[in-house]
Structure 1
Amino acid sequence: MGATPAGAPPKSEDAELLAALGYEERFDRKVSLWANFALGFVYLSPLVGVVSLFAVGLAAAGPPSIFWILIVGLGQLLVALVFGEVVSQFPLAGGLYQWSRRLWSGRYAWFTSWTYIACITIGITSTALFSSDFVASLFLGTADEPGVASTPGQRLVIAIAITVVCFLCNSFGTRTLALISKIGLAAELIGIVLVGLYLLIFARKNSPSVFLDTMGTAGPGGYFGAFLGASLVGLFLYYGFEACGEVAEEVPNPARSIPRAMQLTVVVGGLAAIFAFAGYALAAPDLPAIVSGADTNPIPAILQGSIGTVGTKLILVVTLTSFIAGVMSQQAAASRIVFSFARDDMFPGSRIFNRLSRRFHVPFNALIAVNVLPLVIFVFVYFSPDSLTKIAAFQVLAGYFAFQMVVFAALRMRLKGWRPAGAWTLGKAGTAVNVLALAYGVFAMVLLAMPTGDADAPFVDRWIALIGFLIVSAVGLAYLFIAKPDRKSTAPEGDAIDIAATLRERQTRLQTTARRTS
Structure 2
Amino acid sequence: MTPEEAVVSPTSAPPVPSKTDADAADLRGFGYEPQLHRRIGSYASFAAGFSFVSILTTVFQLFAFGFSFGGPAFFWTWPLVFLGQFMVALNFAELAARYPISGCIYQWSRRLANATVGWFAGWVMIIAQIATVAAAAIALQVVLPSIWAGFQLVGGDPSLTSTTGATNAVILGSALIAVTTVINVIGVRLMSIVNSAGVTLEIIGVAAVVVLLLTHAERGPGVVFDTGGTGTGLGYVGPFLVSALMAAYVVVGFDSAGELSEETRDPRHTAPRTILRALAAAGIGGGLMLIAALMAAPSLTDGRLATEGLPYVLTTRLGETGGRILLIDVAIAIAVCTLAIQTAGSRMVFSMARDDVLPFSAALRRVSPRTGAPVLPSIVVGVGAAAVLLVNIGQPALFTAITSVCIVLLYIAYALVTVPLLIRRWQGWPGGEEVTGTERGGKLFSLGRFGIVVNALAVVYGIGMIVNLGWPRPEVYDPAGAHWYLHYFALLFVGGALLAGGLAFLRYRTRAMALHLPLPAAVLPEGETA
What TM-score, normalized by structure 2, do the two folds share?
A: 0.88
1:85 Cα deviation from its structure 2 partner: 1.2
Matched residues in 2 for 1:241 and 1:485: separation? Answer: 30
The letter of the residue matching 1:392 is T
Matched residues in 2 for 1:291 and 1:413: separation? Answer: 50
Matched residues in 1 for 2:381 and 2:471: separation? Answer: 29
Unaligned segments of structure 2, at least 5 residues:
1-13, 152-156, 436-443
Select the residue among 278, 283, 287 that pairs with 1:265: 278
The letter of the residue matching 2:452 is T
Answer whether contact 1:173 1:362 (CA < 8 A) is retained.
yes
Counterpart in the other structure of 2:486: 461
Q: Does 1:99 align with 2:108?
A: yes
Deviations 1:172-203 (A, max 9, x none): 211111111212211221111112111112x1
Deviations 1:300-325 (A, max 9, x none): 33222222211111111100000000
- In the TM superposition, what are the counterparts of 1:117-516 in structure 2 within 5 Å? 117-140=126-149, 149=159, 151-201=165-215, 203-218=216-231, 222-290=235-303, 293=306, 296-419=307-430, 421=434, 423-454=444-475, 457=481, 459-481=484-506, 483-487=507-511, 490-493=514-517, 498-499=519-520, 503=522
The letter of the residue matching 2:35 is R
The SS at the match of 1:91 is coil
1:486 Cα deviation from its structure 2 partner: 4.4
The SS at the match of 2:463 is helix
Matched residues in 2 for 1:300 and 1:488: separation? Answer: 48
1:245 Cα deviation from its structure 2 partner: 0.6
Matched residues in 2 for 1:90 and 1:68: separation? Answer: 32
Select the residue among 18, 23, 47 that pairs with 2:27: 18
The letter of the residue matching 1:442 is I
Moved over 4 A (4+): 6-11, 454-459, 510-514
Unaligned segments of structure 1, at least 5 residues:
1-5
**Percent of pairs identical after alignment?**
28
Select the residue among 19, 32, 39 that pairs with 2:41: 32
Counterpart in the other structure of 1:3: none
Answer whether contact 2:116 2:512 (CA < 8 A) is retained.
no
1:364 Cα deviation from its structure 2 partner: 0.4
Answer whether contact 1:137 1:149 (CA < 8 A) is retained.
no
Matched residues in 1 for 2:327 and 2:201: separation? Answer: 11
Matched residues in 2 for 1:441 and 1:486: separation? Answer: 31
Deviations 1:425-446 (A, max 9, x none): 1122212211111111111111
Q: Single out whichever of 147-156 and 229-238 deviates more from structure 2.
A: 147-156
Matched residues in 2 for 1:9 and 1:266: separation? Answer: 34
1:9 Cα deviation from its structure 2 partner: 7.6
What TM-score, normalized by structure 1, do the two folds share?
A: 0.89
Q: Does 1:114 align with 2:114?
A: no
Answer whether contact 1:346 1:489 (CA < 8 A) is retained.
no
The SS at the match of 2:293 is helix
Q: Single out whichever of 211-220 and 358-367 deviates more from structure 2.
A: 211-220
Matched residues in 1 for 2:389 and 2:249: separation? Answer: 20
The SS at the match of 2:302 is helix
Counterpart in the other structure of 2:9: none
The letter of the residue matching 1:119 is A
Answer whether contact 1:219 1:226 (CA < 8 A) is retained.
no
1:205 Cα deviation from its structure 2 partner: 2.1
In structure 2, relative to structure 1, the CA distance for the partners of 1:292 and 1:17 (3 Å cut) is: closer
Matched residues in 2 for 1:239 and 1:306: separation? Answer: 30
Answer whether contact 2:299 2:305 (CA < 8 A) is retained.
no
